[in-house]
A and B are shown apart, each in its own frame.
Chain A
């Protein structure tokens, strides 16, 4: 293996040796990638909700609204991050079965998964999950409904701002709307492997 390393690096070096000069790394202004209609937008929370709807996600502002959505569709079994459950429990009637342990051997038993988001991106309607902040990767992915509990104070305006704040978490995932495919004849189908419903529950 190490011989492969050396031979690759030596081939690369000799391929580049004849170049009289090397292309410089350009700098670029953040302005360049800010979408026209997001320029100067100050209300990141409003923009976030608007954009989340555009990618077929569901912004909600209260636990009661969440319960109503789940009720309406008959989604009464799910998982909730143990750290979030005390704050939400009161809104859930006894007809719900909510577990705070996620058992991967019963992955299809969970119709919804409630986990914490580490942040959001307004211009794209994205929720940000991290290993440090999200209790279970699977609970945010396998159930039909994913509810990301998102603090209004952690919403970045745009992609460059969110990139700048990536930090050192070993695994960060940006989720922009429900899982989707257009592989079959270009027809949009949501809920391929991940959630078919992506909710952001906005809290203070």
Chain B
């Protein structure tokens, strides 16, 4: 196969890789916050169940969760597996990453000094206002480094979608490598991931910098 045709095919796959990446971030970042708030609920049942779900999501392989979300409906309810696998893939990734982001948010929230809540209470801020205006902005700053780690991992983890044969870049690279008995597609895939991650790290560093205008 011509080198450029291979690149073209892999670029098509790269679009899908990007789709997984951005959609997962879009859903998992807010979902993680909801999970955090549920896990801190005063209702013991709610927080207990939420913590259990988090531990399952973090304690089992993402690969397994991908297979469960993609093929589970077929085995359980005989719903045929749709050919468009983007939806189950994004659902599995979003839920899994939400669990990780939830833990990051939780540790960030718990690192906030209690004096911030007390000063806000005395000034008459309501609980939601205290959280949105005073706690959350500082939490975001505090968790940015660990969130960056998680996002960099996500770039690499998108390749796990090959387990359900979703046609993202790694899956396509693997197919070409098999049919051509060539190692080149893997090298190309590696370069793509590396460049993508370099870009992600660069952007995150800029964001971190833009938020470090004050001393904590």
- A and B co-occur in one complex: no
**Chain B residues in the interface with A (C-beta under 8 A):** none
